[in-house]
Homo-oligomer: A and B are copies of this chain.
Amino acid sequence: MAAPRKIDVVLDSVRRLLRIGATANLLNLLQKQHPADVAQLFGELHDRERTAVFNLLVERHGRLAMEAVSEMGPELAASLMAGRSAEEIARLLAEIPSDDAAALIDYLPKELATSVLEMMGQRASADVENLLEYDEQTAGRIMNPHVFALQEDLTAGEAIAALQGLREVEMVFYLYVVDARRHLVGVVSLRRLLLVSPETPLKRIMTTDLISARVDMDQEEVARQVASYNLLAIPVVDQENKLVGIITVDDVIDVIKDEATEDIYRLAGVSSDEHVFTPPVVSLRKRLPWLVINLATAFLASGVVAIFSGTISAWVALAVFMPIVAGMGGNAATQTLTVIVRGIALGELTWSNSRHALVKELLVGVGNGLATGLVAAVVAWLMIGSPSLGVILALAMVMNLFVAGAAGTLIPLGLRALKIDPALASTVIITTFTDCCGFASFLGLAALFLRYAHKAG
């Protein structure tokens, strides 16, 4: 490995200071870290150390403790909170933005969550409850309801004064302009504000052609808009175009990461909320359903082999080469599936061009089938000394890679048409599909050959 990461050095010191009980030094060290780094430290400490350090921090430097909580995943954050009283949790949550608080409360046990909401101040709890009313993975759920907006009849000078009076609104880069009933009517950039004379009315310098997200917009679509228009933030409006919140680019980055993880996981049949350190029992329970589905489909493939057990008895070498046909089909299908699913996710693959994609994948399948089939045929011939088996193997591979291209394209596209996430056409399912076709084509061709050879003989 390369030089140790800075975080590893800090981690070692934290552990050492904790062991010898040097709490003053430990606090001093933690205070020098960025809250995001403190959050990462919590992720890497063992359970007991984590609790000890968090308790210390809550007691002596509550603000840093909660800033770190804001930066960690809601699952870990909730686990740090879980042992505390509802009253204490409510008090601690008052320190962090309401969107982070909402995400965390969502992970608490239901009863505890209810008591925490009751304990929180009226305004804070109303904020959190409002956010929790929106569906998961929508703009409403991830937005920050505290958005800075100005009335359209103010001047640039008044706007600057208003900005200077602000206590703490993180990352103001766009000033949203609203009418008297809080409908979003325009946007002014901070830089533009600097360039005009103070008496210019906002109305004259604002851009009215602005991009916003509706509260019910899917977070993936929000991320796509922010990314493709290079925005730093996107305003969120309700059904009547009233400004209700803001989503900043740092939250969008989290969404993009989460959605990529979700795609990677689904393709492999892993539930999207699993992490490296999800407890074994939970992981086991989450992965088992996929494996059971696979087991059922694997028995399907077994059934195909069972039909031909007479053929295998007559020619045992078939059992030796069976896995090759199936394995190659599975891998080719995984390649196609991955390119198609990612193409859909990135918005490159649409209805209008999907026929083009299918034709391409079929051509690639047949081409790769011919190339690898030929090699396999020669190797099998040299291994077993039977050219006929080689020809059967090559033909079966061409057929199976054709099927792999078709299934890898059509299954995710079909799922999308049914409004199901295309990544759910996971390798688990598609591999068994190519297993069945592979066994059927290879053993079927062999059975035909044996019958013909028998007749000819």
A195: chain B residues at CB < 8 Å are 164
B324 touches A323 (CB 8 A): no
Name the residue among A306, A319, A351, A363 with the largest chain B CB count within 10 angstroms. Answer: A319
A277 touches B356 (CB 8 A): yes
Name the residue among A34, A291, A340 with the largest chain B CB count within 10 angstroms. Answer: A291
Report the minimal beta-carbon distance from A258 to chain B, rounded to whole angstroms. Answer: 10
Partner among B264, B268, B301 whose Cβ is within 8 Å of the Cβ of A260: B264
A275 touches B316 (CB 8 A): no
A294 touches B327 (CB 8 A): yes
A268 touches B338 (CB 8 A): yes
Q: Which residues of chain A from 7 to 45 have a CB within 8 Å of any chain B CB?
A: 8, 11, 34, 36-37, 40, 43-44
A66 and B265 CA atoms in complex are apart in Å by: 37
Report the minimal beta-carbon distance from A210 to chain B, rounded to whole angstroms. Answer: 11
- Determine if A122 is an interface residue (Cβ-Cβ < 8 Å): no
B36 touches A276 (CB 8 A): no
A138: chain B residues at CB < 8 Å are none
Report the minimal beta-carbon distance from A422 to chain B, rounded to whole angstroms. Answer: 12
- Determine if A335 is an interface residue (Cβ-Cβ < 8 Å): yes
A284: chain B residues at CB < 8 Å are 363-364, 367-368, 371
Report the minimal beta-carbon distance from A202 to chain B, rounded to whole angstroms. Answer: 16
- Determine if A194 is an interface residue (Cβ-Cβ < 8 Å): yes
A44: chain B residues at CB < 8 Å are 350, 352-353
A232 touches B260 (CB 8 A): no
Name the residue among A261, A317, A432 with the largest chain B CB count within 10 angstroms. Answer: A261
B194 touches A331 (CB 8 A): no
A264: chain B residues at CB < 8 Å are 260, 263-264, 267, 338, 342
Report A321-353 CB contacts with B as 1/0, cut-off 8 Å: 111101110111011011110110011111111
A191: chain B residues at CB < 8 Å are 163, 172, 190
A238 and B372 CA atoms in complex are apart in Å by: 48
- Determine if A411 is an interface residue (Cβ-Cβ < 8 Å): no
Chain B residue at minimal CB-CB distance from A11: B352
Partner among B257, B281, B328, B342 whose Cβ is within 8 Å of the Cβ of A256: B257
Report the minimal beta-carbon distance from A429 to chain B, rounded to whole angstroms. Answer: 10
Interface of A is mostly: helix
Chain B residue at minimal CB-CB distance from A166: B191
A323 touches B439 (CB 8 A): yes
- Determine if A229 is an interface residue (Cβ-Cβ < 8 Å): yes
- Determine if A154 is an interface residue (Cβ-Cβ < 8 Å): no
Q: A191-B190, A228-B36, A253-B252 are in contact. Are A368 and B287 (CB under 8 A)?
A: yes
Chain B residue at minimal CB-CB distance from A163: B194
B173 touches A232 (CB 8 A): yes
Partner among B163, B171, B368, B435 whose Cβ is within 8 Å of the Cβ of A288: B368
A229 and B332 CA atoms in complex are apart in Å by: 40
A283 and B353 CA atoms in complex are apart in Å by: 17
Name the residue among A2, A228, A281 with the largest chain B CB count within 10 angstroms. Answer: A228
B277 touches A348 (CB 8 A): yes
A351 touches B1 (CB 8 A): yes
- Determine if A124 is an interface residue (Cβ-Cβ < 8 Å): no
- Determine if A199 is an interface residue (Cβ-Cβ < 8 Å): no
Q: A253-B256, A435-B327 are in contact. Are A276 and B339 (CB under 8 A)?
A: yes
A415: chain B residues at CB < 8 Å are none
Chain B residue at minimal CB-CB distance from A371: B288
Task: Please name 17 pairs of A and B residues whose Cβ atoms are closer than 8 Å in the assembled complex, sorted by A.
Answer: A8-B351, A11-B352, A37-B228, A40-B228, A44-B350, A190-B190, A227-B250, A249-B249, A265-B338, A275-B339, A276-B342, A280-B367, A284-B364, A287-B332, A287-B335, A302-B321, A322-B323
3 smallest A-B Cβ distances: which pairs?
Answer: A276-B343, A260-B260, A268-B338
5 further A-B contacts with Cβ under 8 Å, apart from A36-B230, A294-B331, are A46-B356, A163-B194, A265-B338, A305-B322, A330-B431
